Amino acid sequence: MVASERHTDEVTVECTSTAEATPGRHAGLTARLTVVHPAKCRVVRDLDAAPVTLGRQPPGHADLSVPHPTLSRAHVEIRFDASSNRHWALDLGSRNGTYLQRQLLGTLPRPLDDGMVLRIGDVLAVYEVERDASTRHDPPEVERAAIPGDALALRALRAGVLRASQRGNPTLVIGETGTGKERIAAELHRLSRRRGELVVANCAALSPALIESQLFGHERGAFTGASQRSSGLFRAAEGGTLVLDEIGELPLELQAKLLRAIESGEIMPAGSSRIQTIDTWVIGVTNRDLAREVEAGRFRRDLYARLALTELRVPALRDRKVDLLGWLDRLLGPADGSFAAALSTGAAEAILLHAWPDNLRGLHRLVLDHNGGTAPIRAAQMPRWLMATPERSSPPPPKREPEGSQRTRLPRPPREDLLLRLEEHGWSMRATARYYDRDRKQISRWVEFYAIKLPGRDS
C-alpha cells in the first residue's frame, strides 16, 4: 500500500494485462478472477492455493498487475483458505477501497462466492468458481457461435452438450426464458450427426384438441376434419431430432403416450390399429422446474425420470457476468461503437449486479431504452428498472439525474449516513462522490450544510 496515493476520476487508460488462461484448480475446485471493466484492462487470472495480490504494481512476479491509476500499487489480496475450501478477499489498505457486491471491504477478509463482483478503485472484476471436475475441459467440437461466452458456466454447459450428443439418450434442456435453449437443442442435433431433420414443436402452441394427432399423426377420417392422412411430427423427425419446446405444457393424458414413444420407439397414429416403429431423438425444452411440477401433480414422474437421464441446465445471464458487457456490444453491432467502453464504472457495476430476470431480452431492452449520449455513460443515465433490483447484497447508492433533467432529484442523505460514508472512504471527497454518484461539489455542499469538520481534505 502507498499511503500518499489519491483517487483519480474515471479515465480512459491503455492496459497491457491481456493474458488468457485455463482456470486454476485446487482441492476439487476451479477458480479464476476476470477483470471485465475497463475493457482495455481485461485479464483472466487463475486462482489456486497461492495468495495473489492485485494492484497497479504488486510486489510479486506471480501477482496480478492492472496498470490503472485508481488502483494502489498493492490493492487487494485473494487468498485460499483450506479449512473452508474457498477463496477470500482482503483489502490491503488501498486509498480508493475495495468493494464486494457494493459492500466496502474492511480490515477483515471476506469469503468469495461464484459470480461475486469486486470493485477495485475504478476497476471491476468477477470471481468464478466451478466445483464439478468433469466440466474442466472446454470441448472444441462445440461451436462457440451456437453457445458463445467465456464464463465457466458456459464452458461447463458446452462440455455437457457434447456428452449428451454422444449418448443419444432422451435429453432435457432447462433454463430461464431468454437463455438460448433452442440454440442449444440445435447444437445437440448437429453434434449427434443424425441423418434426419431437426424438427421443433412448440407444445404451448399446439392445438389442445389435436395435439395427439399433431405429434403422432392420424389416418384419414380419424376425426371430424381429418380429410387427409398426416404422418405427424415424430415421423417428420424420423432419423433425426424432435425438439419439444415448452414440454411442461403437455397435458397429463398425452404424457403417458409420449413416454411410450420414447421408451419403446413406437407410436400409433390416431384412427390406426397399426403400431409404427420410429427412430427419433427427443429433446425436451422447458423453463419450468419439472421436479416441482412432478410434486404438484402436473407432470408425470416416470416421464420426468426418463427425460432427466441427461439433463442440461442452461445458466442464466446473471451467472455469466464475465460475458455481460461484451454482450452489449454484440447486440449493438460494430457500426454503433462500443457501448461497454462508454460505461462509467458505476454504470458497468449496476449492469453486472442486476438480476436480469429476462436474460438476453433484458439486455435488448437496455440497449433500446438507452438514449445515447457522450461517454462516460453514468449510472444515473441508466433506465430506472435497471437500478431498481440489484441481484443481491445492498441496494445501489443514491443516483443523480443527468444534467438538464426535469425530474425530482433525490434528497441529500441524512447527516449520520454522510458521516458514515465519509469515514468509510477515508474522508476522501472524491471517493464519497463516487459512492453517491454525485459531483464532488455536491458532497462539499452537503458537508457545509451539516457543518461537518473533516480531518483533512484531499487535493
| Cis amide linkage into residue 38, ω under 30° from 0 | yes
> Strand 281-286 relative to strand 241-245: parallel, antiparallel, unpaired?
parallel
Q: Pick the closest to residue 454 from 440, 438, 437 (CA basis).
A: 440
Q: What is the pLDDT of residue 108?
A: 85
C-alpha grid cell, residue 309: 437421464
In-domain check, residue 408: yes
Same domain, 154 and 284: yes
Same domain, 384 and 401: no
Q: What is the pLDDT of residue 196?
A: 94
Same domain, 205 and 82: no
In-domain check, residue 8: no
Which CATH number does the domain housing residue 266 bear? Answer: 3.40.50.300
Same domain, 53 and 92: yes
- Structure pTM? 0.75
C-alpha grid cell, residue 26: 485446487
Q: Pick the closest to residue 322 from 23, 105, 88, 12 (CA basis).
A: 23
**What 3-state DSSP class applies to 181?**
helix
Residue finishing a domain among 289, 313, 337: 313
Question: Residue 369 pLDDT > 70, yes or no?
Answer: yes
Band (pLDDT 50/70/90 cuts) for residue 220 is: low
Same domain, 164 and 302: yes
Q: What is the pLDDT of residue 380?
A: 77
Look over the chain and give the mean of its residue pLDDT values, rounded to a whole number: 82
Same domain, 305 and 165: yes
Q: What is the pLDDT of residue 396?
A: 37
Question: Residue 30 pLDDT > 50, yes or no?
Answer: yes
pLDDT in tens, 374-393: 667 887 778 888 876 444 43
Between 367 and 402, the more confident residue is: 367
pLDDT in tens, 166-205: 998 999 999 999 899 999 999 999 999 999 999 999 988 8
Burial class (CB in 10 A: 0-12, 13-18, 19+), 427: middle
Between 352 and 398, the more confident residue is: 352
In-domain check, residue 14: no
Same domain, 299 and 223: yes
Is 435:421 a contact under the CB 8 Å cutoff? Answer: yes
The lowest-confidence range among 18-22, 256-260, 277-281, 411-415 is 18-22
Q: What is the pLDDT of residue 1?
A: 36
158: containing domain: 135-313
pLDDT in tens, 308-331: 889 999 999 999 999 999 888 888
Residue finishing a domain among 131, 163, 197: 131
pLDDT in tens, 49-100: 999 999 999 998 889 999 999 999 999 999 999 888 899 999 999 999 999 9
Same domain, 267 and 167: yes
Residue finishing a domain among 99, 114, 131: 131
Same domain, 38 and 181: no
Question: Residue 418 pLDDT > 50, yes or no?
Answer: yes
DSSP 99-165: EETTEEP-SS-EE--TT-EEEETTEEEEEEEE--GGG----TTS-TTTS---SHHHHHHHHHHHHHH
Which CATH number does the domain housing residue 373 bear? Answer: 1.10.8
**What 3-state DSSP class applies to 67?**
coil
Between 349 and 226, the more confident residue is: 349
Same domain, 407 and 433: yes
Band (pLDDT 50/70/90 cuts) for residue 2 is: very low
The domain tally of the chain equals 4
Give the pLDDT mean for 394-401. Answer: 39
Cα dihedral across residues 321, 324, 326, 330: positive or negative:
positive
Same domain, 259 and 284: yes
In-domain check, residue 266: yes
Same domain, 309 and 374: no
